[in-house]
Every structure is written in C-alpha cells, then in structure tokens.
Amino acid sequence: MSNSVEDRLLRLEESRYRTAGEVNAMRTLLLSAWMTLIQRSSLPAKDVVAQLKEAFHPSRLVPRKAFPGIDPSELEAFSQEYERSLAALLSELEHAVLGQMN
C-alpha cells in the first residue's frame, strides 16, 4: 500500500464518505424503528415524541467524560455536535409523526 500524500488523501476521503453513508443508514433505520414503535404504542404519538424529547433533552444527559476515540481537547466541540445532532434527529422524528397524523 502506497503512503504518498495523494493515496492517504484518497483513503481519508473514502473513509469520510463511508462514515457519512453509515451514519445516514443508521439514522434512517433509527427513525424507521421509532416510527414503528410509536405507531404500535397505546399512547398518543405526540405524547411518545414529547417523552422522547424530554428523556434526551441535553439538560438531562449526563456530561460525558470521554467518548471512545475522541481527543480530550476536542471533547467540548464533539459534545456540542452530538447535542445538535440529537436535537435534529428528534425534530425529524417529531415532524414525521405529525406528518403521519395529518
């Protein structure tokens, strides 16, 4: 395996695309699973989403001292991105649930 700068950049780019693809696939599966659970719940869908949003609200999350593989100097930025991504995912779930109710 060559270690030229071009080869390393190509491997890095491939890794980035693979990671983005994996994250998007997991997000799709997660939303689909939650939609299925919400549809089968005896509670109103809006109530289930509200409970999820409350359970995963950043103020209720225990601050993480370490994320596997994350440099401690980058922990704050990583934590902020994690919280932003979690909020976006919950918002997407809420919109999907409300869309199905209409």
- Tell me how many helices (H) and strands (E) the chain has: 3, 0
- Nearest Cα neighbor of 98 from 28, 58, 38 is 38
Cβ proximity of 94 and 100 under 8 Å: no
pTM of the model: 0.70
Structural domain including 48 reads 5-101
pLDDT tens by residue, 71-89: 777 878 888 888 888 888 8
Q: What integer pLDDT is reported at residue 61 of this predicted model?
A: 63
- Per the structure, how many domains does the chain have? 1
pLDDT band at 25 (very low <50, low <70, confident <90, very high): very high
- Nearest Cα neighbor of 52 from 11, 10, 93, 102 is 93
